[in-house]
Amino acid sequence: MKKIFAGNFTQQDPIPEAGIAAALEVMRSGRLHRYNTGPGEMGETALLEEEFAAYIGAPYALALASGGYAIGCALRALGVAPGDPVLTNGFTLAPVPGAIASVGGLPIFVEVTEQLVIDLEDLADKITTSGAKVLLLSHMRGHICDMDQLMAMCDAADVAVVEDCAHTMGGAWNGVASGQHGRAACYSTQTYKHMNSGEGGFLTTKDPDLMARAVILSGSYMLYERHSAAPPTEAFEAVKYVTPNVSGRMDNLRAAILRPQLADLPRQIDRWNALYRVAEDGLQTANSVQIIPRPKAESIVGSSIQFLLPDFDVAQIHKLLAACAARGVELKWFGGAEPVAFTSRYDSWRYAPAQSLPRTDKILAGLMDMRLPLTFSTEDVRLIVEIISDEVAEILKVA
Ligand SMILES: *Cc1c(COP(=O)(O)O)cnc(C)c1O
């Protein structure tokens, strides 16, 4: 009798009771809009921004309606204009090229390495050939490239780096928080990320001009002085008449839900990493499964795990997906020709100029992906890994 896993790969933890209580209070007050505050009163959203800035170590933070909005806002605040090329990873997800397209930019995709990070050699080539002045660096599935080398390269070429930290909130490179290397960083609090408000996001930066523009872009009207994790009033004077309002604010209800989650994030990261290490250890021993090595400089948040099946052909991958699904194990595959649910490929987005990334194609063809929600126990992960290993072995036996 084959063992079956009965857990749910899309079931997140409940909202902490403190968050539920705070949300009820906001609802009872009726003051859900972030600027609906009394004189001198700090709303939940402004408090959350202060706390998030302190957590990341950035002087400025802005809470927004989504991670994708935060990216578009950062690009627009940097001055990306219609027709401008914007470099980004070939291995990413739909909101990333989507944010580039939202400001009229042209996504220029850069190859990915077997470590699932941006290929610095290809980046150097494409900085030259594209003439792009902005790199939207996606730390896809939490894999962080050599940030020291990347920043040296981009600084030398005068390329501004916007970090997409949707999967690295709480991660770090060489002890520096993910998001603190580039000009700006964007985070998501969509349900499947590291904090859950249904939808939501953050933008952080050290650049007062960029933050002043972002605050006004987000829809602050002339109420920007109510932001405390923001630059002084002078920074706004220079930009307030020329920056359009493209509303994408966070509201106090979501902020109330997020504040206790932020306080709890370090503990959650430890829980994720415990699950990740069990999955990694288990998959390490499976024949034909190639684990992604994690560099020492990288502090990870193991909310998902990826592995490569370089010897598998398309038919074998389909067989594995079906066999695992039949036993309750939900694997995702980044090599599929058609985008499925949340999973897509750089060539799925036909609004971007057609591009060829042969090295990325080869890696994505064997790239498997699995969520590790915190509702799983380490025992659950052991069983999941046993099922994957069994089914991989089964397919190899037939071949
Ligand atoms: C989730 C995600 C985002 C932002 O998504 P929103 O749903 O807009 O919050 C950006 N980049 C990546 C890689 C993501 O997975």
> Could you tell me which of 353, 333, 329 has the C-alpha nearest to residue 345?
333
- Token representation of residue 203: 């933008």
Q: Which residues of the chain have pLDDT under 50?
A: none
Report strand pairing: 367-371 vs 304-308.
antiparallel
In tens, the pLDDT along 264-274 reads: 999 999 999 99
Q: Which atom of ligand 1 is nearest to the CA of 342?
A: 15
What does the alpha-carbon distance between residue 68 and residue 74 come to, in Å, rounded to a whole number? 10
Ligand 1, atom 14, residue with closest C-alpha: 166
**Percent helix / strand / coil, the chain, rounded to 5:** 40, 15, 45
pLDDT of residue 176: 98
The answer to whether 194 touches 268, Cβ cutoff 8 Å, is: yes
Look at the chain and count its residues.
399
Mutate to test the pocket of ligand 1, among 71, 88, 93 (most ligand atoms within 8 A of CB): 93
Of 398, 399, 390, the residue nearest 326 (C-alpha): 390
Cα→Cα distances 289→43, 90, 281, 335, Å: 49, 23, 12, 16
| Per-residue pLDDT, 1 | 82
CA proximity to 162, closest of 141, 121, 133: 133
Closest atom of ligand 1 relative to the 139 alpha carbon: 13
For residue 333, give the amino acid letter. W
Cα–Cα distance for residue pair 364/336, rounded to 1 Å: 8
Residue 394: how many CB atoms within 10 A of its CB? Answer: 14
Q: What is the pLDDT of residue 398?
A: 82
| pLDDT (0 to 100) of residue 324 | 98
CB-ligand 1 contact for 168 (6 Å cutoff): no
Q: C-alpha 287: how far from its chain's center?
A: 30
Predicted pLDDT at 23: 98
How big is the CA angle at 225 (ends 220 and 228), to the nearest 5 degrees?
Answer: 100
Give the CB-side neighbour count of residue 205, counting CA atoms within 13 A. 26
Q: 16, 13, 40, 12: which is closest to 256 by C-alpha?
A: 16
Two structure tokens written together for 176:
């520096």
Q: In the prediction, which pLDDT does 164 show?
A: 98
Output the pTM of the full model.
0.97
Q: For residue 15, give Cα distances in angstroms to 26, 71, 227, 301.
A: 15, 26, 26, 19
Provide the pLDDT for residue 287. Answer: 87
pLDDT at site 337:
87
Instruction: Tell whether ligand 1 has an atom less than 6 A from the beta carbon of residue 66.
Output: yes
Q: Which residues pair with 86 in a beta bridge?
A: 107
Q: Kindly state if the Cβ of 389 falls inside 6 Å of ligand 1.
A: no
Q: Residue 291 — φ and ψ, nearest 5°?
A: -80, 150
Residue owning the nearest CA to atom 12 of ligand 1 = 166
Tens of pLDDT, residue by residue over 272-330, are: 999 999 999 999 999 899 999 999 999 999 999 999 999 999 999 999 999 999 999 99
Q: Report yes or no: 78 and 183 within 8 Å, Cβ to Cβ.
A: yes
